[in-house]
Every structure is written in C-alpha cells, then in structure tokens.
Structure 1
Amino acid sequence: MKTIIKAFFTVIKIKPVAVSSIILLKLSQVFVPLLSLTILQKLINSVQYYFEERADIMGITYIILGQIGLTIINNVILKIDQHLSTYVQLNLELEIKAKISNEILDVNYEKIEDHEFYNLIQRTQGDLGSQFLGLVNNVLEISRTIISTDFMKQKGLPSNMKNKGTEMMKGRILFP
C-alpha cells in the first residue's frame, strides 16, 4: 500500500494538471456503461411499443442516435486518456532519469567499475515511467470498475435481469 501511495504522489508531483485530468476522465467513464444500458433499455422498449403501434419510428431513431453519440463520446474520452497517460509517462520517465543521472554524477569512479553497481545502473535504463504510471492506472481502473458496478447495482440492472427470461417468453421484454 505504501508503494501505491508513493507512486501516486510521485506521478502527481511531476504533472499535477495532467494527472488530475486523467482521474476526471476515468471517473467520467464510470457512467458510460450505466448510460449505455439505460439507452438500450429504452431502445428495446421503444421497439416493442413500435410493434404494438404505441411509438413512432422517430423516437427509436433518436435513441439510436443517442447511443451512437455516447459511443463517440466514450471513444474520444479514451483517446484523450491515452494521450494524457503517454504524456505523463514520458515526463515522468524524463524526470526520474534526470534524478538518476544527477545521482550518478556524485558517485565515485571506483564504484562505477563494480559490476554489481553497474547492474543496478542498467536496471534504471528501462521503462521507468510506465512502471509508476501503470500502477496508478491500475488503481484508477479498479476504482472506476468498483464505482461503475456499484452504480449498476443501485440501479438494479444486473440483479434485475435474472427474472426477465420468463417475461420475454410471454412476449414482454419491458425493462423497469
């Protein structure tokens, strides 16, 4: 847990605005599955009402356009999130490598010839930014999934779907 908190604050210290934007984008993605399921419910209900001649085709068209719009918005949010993550990762890597280089300048030359010390230096040449940011991204993704699942349970969508099979066999597909 200490490592996660330390990595989180290290990333925030490097680019606070970009990291805050990433957090906000991930939180906005919480509502996409819920909105998508709600739109799908309305679409199914509207199609059923259309066949019962209680709805018009324009209502169905607007619902489909809403779903397409939600998909486009979600894809834009994902691309912005990817761009900001790459931006933060590169800046984080640059900052970490700069700190390591400054520390190496102070090392005694005899120490640099030691093969164990040289191996330690070689380990720092990898993809350091992705190691820090990967940990932070995983925590944010887990949080987003937990929040999204909790919202869906509060809405009653997953548990409510279990008993819909009998209503569907009777010719009814109406959702709450």
Structure 2
Amino acid sequence: MPFLTALVLGVGVLCLIDLVLTVGVIRRLRAHEEMLSARPPGAPSLVLPPGATIGGFSAVSTDGVHVSDETLTGTVLVGVFSPDCPACHERLPQFAEHARSFPGGRGNALAVLVGAEEEMAEERRALEPVALVLIEEFGTGLTKALQVRGFPSLALVDEHGRVVASGTTLEDLDMIPAHA
C-alpha cells in the first residue's frame, strides 16, 4: 500500500510540474505573439511605407484581366498572402470581407497569392469573387513593385502609384496619414 501511495503521489507531482510548464509555455507564446503584432515605431516595414511610389508592374489576373501600374484608377486595395504564413490564414478572410465593400468593386481590389498555383486553390476561390487575383513568385510582379519583405502585406495605392497606407492588418490601412 505505501508503494501505491508513493506512486500516486509521484504521478500527481509530475502532472503538476507538467501543468506549470505548459502554462509557462502558453504565456511565452502569447508574449511572443504580442511582440510580433505590436511592431514598434521605426521597425522595418514589410511593404513600402505611405508616401512611397510603387515600382512598375504588369500582370494578368487568374480570370484574364490585365493589371499594371498604368491601369490603376482610383485607390486600389492590395493584399499579399503566402500559403506558409499563419497570419495570412487569419487575415485573408478579413481582407476578402473588406474587398467585398471596397469602393470601385472587384476591379479596385488586388489579391496577390505568392506561391505555386496548386498551393493556393482554396485562397483563390475565396478571393476571386471580390478581387482580381494574381498568382506570382516572391520578388516578382506586384510583390517587387511594393517591395514586399513579409506576409501578409496590405496597402492602399492611389491612381498615381503612391502608397496611401500600408501594413500587415486592415487597421493599419485605416490609419491614413493626414497628408494623404
């Protein structure tokens, strides 16, 4: 009987240690997530900052529409997503919802999917009804024109190719500078 009591006590202590370690890991993960989402001012941007002008680009959307820096009319909503990006999986549906009601409709919303077409089938289906979808390799086309360095990257670009707002969340796009 003393052996069984010691065994039960030992298992209980191990469970308690496991619980304490798990809580510690969860706290570290939350702190890490907060650090990543609350980028300090002056931190390198993942996409061109407001006021910058995008480079030239030319592409054809998945449904055959030609888009380029010369075809921009009005302000265009741009979202750049990758299949390997956990934050993209969260923000892509938010982007699609925002694009649905964006002024100028589907023609003024560009969704860039970076990767192989077969990797992006689900994202393509979600975005095509609300945006012109471009599938391209990283560092080409619109990702090069916007100087994208990470994902997700979001921007508002005016008809002159000037970035009006940019960031990694839709909230970043709501903070349009006064000089814009």
Q: What TM-score, normalized by structure 2, do the two folds share?
A: 0.28
Q: What TM-score, normalized by structure 1, do the two folds share?
A: 0.29
More helix by share: 1
Structure number with greater Rg is 1
Higher relative contact order (CA 8 A, sep 6+): 1
